[in-house]
Amino acid sequence: MQSSSALAVRQGVLYVAIAATAWGTGGAVAAELYDVGGIGPISVSFWRFLTGLGLLLTAHLVRRTRRPETALSLRATYAADPRRALVTGFGLAVYQTAYFASVQEAGLTVATVVTLGSGPVLVAVGARLTLGERTGAAGTAAVVSGVIGLVLLMGGADGSTGPAPFLGIGYALLSAAGYAGVTLLGRFSGRKNAGGAFEATVTGFAVGTVCLLPMALLEGILPDMERAAWTLGLILYLGAVPTALAYTLFFVGLGAVRATTASVVALVEPLTAAVIGVLVLGERLNGVVLTGTALLLFAVLFLTAGEGAGRAAARRTPDPSAGHGRNTSHPATQTKD
């Protein structure tokens, strides 16, 4: 029992880490789309959502064809919990669009530090108030360590401030609020029914695409097709890797790990960008960046170990109602999730 529990936690953390790694490539692709495609952040988000939705729908149809007994109906998924689809879709649209707008107005470094730095704090507070998840003194220290590591990691990088930093910070805080809402709802729903995470991801992106369409039309939805193959390739990658793949893994992972842990593990995103800068772009890491990297890794590993230990302890704790007279006369009733 203990090993299977620990395995589930490790898988959940791995899924969230892979998702964050994929997200770490999205900012550079979006920035390239701004230059090559000549479109703004809302339109980039729209094409990202639309492409991701198309790929998710294709995967859903393949699942229903090959394994109809395990694939849930999208209509039934939406009807069972329409609030989840609506809030997830709206939250994703706000989170992504506000982040891209923050990058334009405040620069990549400021946008990343404010969005990802405030995200774990908002999630930790929200998880305590809405989910009853206690972080504890050690967990709080790990969250603080992760945020400080993020600030050091981004502070040691070369970055420029955008034309409107205060407006960009406002967008970043809005993005963090949308991210926190999506994370908390995903954790709440995943605890009840982790098996429907994929279908919930599809319906969420369908709602998000509809939310973005009117604003994208006003901003200018059609990209410049002077370099059509490159532009389409960027859109396809943005929809496939940091969207369809990443968010599916993220929502599935939320069924196994606490919301606060997931939000700290997601700080792997800027760490991935730093590693790419060293390996691909030949950038050099200074002492500040290395210190931030160490603090980030400590936070991720500490919270991951705490998840496994807490889950194992919960399984070893006996049911206090077992063996009492008022329960022994009735057989246990099996229920289906």
Is residue 55 in some structural domain?
Answer: yes
Number of folded domains that form the chain: 1
- Dihedrals phi, psi of 292, to nearest 5 degrees: -60, -40
Is residue 124 in some structural domain?
Answer: yes
pLDDT at 314 over 60: no
pLDDT digits (tens, 9 = 90+) for 15-41: 998 998 898 888 778 878 888 988 988
pLDDT digits (tens, 9 = 90+) for 231-248: 999 999 999 999 999 999
What was the pLDDT predicted at 160? 55
Is residue 320 in some structural domain?
Answer: no
What was the pLDDT predicted at 216? 93
Q: Tokens 């707008």 belong to which residue? A: 101
Is residue 332 in some structural domain?
Answer: no
- What is the C-alpha to C-alpha distance for residues 267 and 150, in angstroms, rounded to an integer? 7
Is residue 221 in some structural domain?
Answer: yes
Is residue 319 in some structural domain?
Answer: no
Rounded alpha-carbon distances, angstroms, from residue 101 to 41, 97, 181, 290: 6, 6, 19, 29
Is residue 322 in some structural domain?
Answer: no
When comparing pLDDT for 305 and 226, which is higher?
226
pLDDT at 214 over 50: yes
pLDDT band at 320 (very low <50, low <70, confident <90, very high): very low
- What is the C-alpha to C-alpha distance for residues 9 and 104, in angstroms, rounded to an integer? 37
pLDDT at 7 over 60: no
- Dihedrals phi, psi of 201, to nearest 5 degrees: -65, -40
Q: Tokens 């967990």 belong to which residue? A: 139
Is residue 143 in some structural domain?
Answer: yes
- What is the C-alpha to C-alpha distance for residues 245 and 16, in angstroms, rounded to an integer? 11
For every residue of 307-326, DSSP letters joined together read HHHHHHHHHHSPPTTTT-HH
Q: Is 208 within 8 Å of 93 (Cβ atoms)?
A: yes
Q: What is the extent of the structural domain holding 248?
A: 2-312
- What is the C-alpha to C-alpha distance for residues 82 and 147, in angstroms, rounded to an integer? 34
